[in-house]
Amino acid sequence: MQESLKIFAGDLRNSFMDLLPIIVVVALFQGIIIQAMPDNVSSIVIGLAIVAVGLALFIRGLELGIFPIGEGLAIDFAKKGSVFWLLTFAFTIGFSTTVAEPALIAIADKAAVISNGLIDAFWLRMTVALSVGFAIALGTLRILLGHPIAYYIISGYILVVVVTFFAPREIIGLAYDSGGVTTSTVTVPLVAALGIGLSSSIKGRNPAIDGFGLIAFASLTPMIFVQIYGIIVYNFIDAPVVSETLTNTMETGKSVASTYSFDAYKTFMALVDTIKDVTPILVVIFFFQYLIIKKPVAHLHKIATGIIMVILGLYAFIIGLEMGLFPIGESIAFQLTNMDNFLLIYLFAFLIGFSTTMAEPALLAIAIKAEEISHGNIKQNVLRMVVALGVAVGIALGSFRLVSGDPIHYYIIGGYIMVIIFTYFAPKYIVPIAYDSGGVTTSTVTVPLVAALGLGLAENLEWCDPLIDGFGLIAFASLFPMLTVMGYGIYAEYSKIKQQNQTKGEKS
């Protein structure tokens, strides 16, 4: 018990360190730029403390419950030798976790409002969920076949670009964003555990090279599926009659600053919603464990404790965000969009991108696994900082794109070309992790703030259309971490070779 408390205290200390960049950014802009004290300062401080506790619980729960059961299932499937059931499990995990993803629900509802109901929120969610199920199954098949991930990802990017030229402008930004909101805080660790466990149990596979990449598939395929959905909707379906309720929602749906007020019922329902989000994953896991694998879960009490900690940690995390981060983040974003100084917007976008990514639970989970699988060659803190830098650059550039009024696909296509070039030069061990990094950066913390910034800019800039221009910042936040991580790998490999050459020169 004493050892467990000591470990948790360490996790809690690390969580507070992860939140420090966000606190610094918010304090800087609130005190120096806006020059006004935020409302409910005490609520914000308590909220950030709750976020730290939630993060610590979440990480400890992953180590105890989600990672072991995910890797155990993958190994059992490999031993069973049934490709059909393995791919069925992969598809089901992808579909069931995505269809209830809160970030996707929020984006889909917003798209339905802005498009006057032409984009149906339910069918958009179904399209994305089907694409993620297909992606996880395809990524699992790739591990079984032993194919290099670059062939699949580059082919996917080419397909995205081709479809973009046929898709209506109104759907492109939304489609690109859909690829970034599909990987939830719980899904990412489970999918990562599935890939690593499977590659570890197959002879000839390298967990560091073959185990990562499933998340990259889940971020790529929605961009293709949603654009195809948009082509169908905008060419073959008549625009619906806009209801009075929808019209009122649109009129009042501007990005406005909000403050948190405690509501016991809403707080309880947040716990219920968190359990509902995790339940489909647990149903799928235990269905396949007991009815298909037909084997009891090893150390069930430990796994159950870990799952409870994940639920409580995620719940505390969400409540803390609602109390501490979202109100002040939305307030600053809204006030900056009404200023004439666009450089401040770019600076805020850069700093908030970096700071929120450093606190992103999904990225933390992947970084921990990357360090473990690489035997310490990839340092989790360095990886997270490199990814956060990519997100910061991406969101700042995406904000510039909004202000300049340029079409989004020029930037995204240019980014894909750079990814392909970097893939050729980057060391093999870093490429799958780089691809996955693009998917884990847009989750619980980042999506709401980035979406609020993008839509706030589009609604306040007279030359922007919220439907065409408001979406897309999440896509930038997903693209650029791939470049920075591969760039980090190229630099690390160059430094290693240079050091080896110097050592040889000294010996000779």
Q: What's the average pLDDT block by block, 10 residues per block, for the chain (508 residues)?
A: 75 79 80 74 82 84 82 82 88 82 72 81 90 93 90 90 89 82 71 85 82 87 93 79 41 44 74 81 87 86 89 83 68 71 87 85 83 81 92 92 85 89 90 86 67 74 74 85 92 84 75
Q: What is the pLDDT of residue 297?
A: 83
Q: How far apart are CA 318 and CA 106, in angstroms?
A: 14
* 3-state SS string for 56-102: HHHHHHHHHHHHHHHHHHHHHHHHHCCHHHHHHHHHHHHHHHHHCCH
Q: How far apart are CA 144 and CA 84, in angstroms?
A: 12
Structure tokens at 431: 């490429």
Angle at 357 between CA 354 and CA 361, to 5 degrees: 160
Distance set, CA 232 to CA 33, 171, 179, 446 (Å): 46, 11, 19, 30
Domain residue extents for the chain? 2-238+245-500
Q: How far apart are CA 45 and CA 42, in angstroms?
A: 5
Question: Element (H or E) spanning 180, and its range?
Answer: none
Q: What is the pLDDT of residue 383?
A: 92
Give the Cβ contact number of residue 123 at 10 Å: 14
Q: How far apart are CA 222 and CA 134, in angstroms?
A: 10
Q: How far apart are CA 473 and CA 395, in angstroms?
A: 6
Amino acid at 98: T
Q: How far apart are CA 418 and CA 364, in angstroms?
A: 26
User: CA-CA-CA-CA torsion for 302, 272, 363, 379, nearest 10 degrees?
Assistant: -30
Q: What is the pLDDT of residue 102?
A: 63
Q: What is the pLDDT of residue 272?
A: 85
Q: How far apart are CA 345 and CA 458, in angstroms?
A: 13
pTM of the model: 0.76
Q: What is the pLDDT of residue 467?
A: 67
Task: Find, among 404, 418, 406, the residue nearest to 481 by Cα.
Answer: 418
The Cβ-side half-sphere exposure at 474, using a 13 Å CA radius, reads 33
Q: What is the pLDDT of residue 497?
A: 85
CB 182 within 8 A of CB 58: no
Q: How far apart are CA 60 and CA 7, in angstroms?
A: 9
Q: What is the pLDDT of residue 190?
A: 79
Angle at 316 between CA 314 and CA 322, to 5 degrees: 105
Phi/psi region, residue 212 (left: phi>0; alpha: psi -120 to 50; beta: rest), is beta
Q: How far apart are CA 444 and CA 51, in angstroms?
A: 11
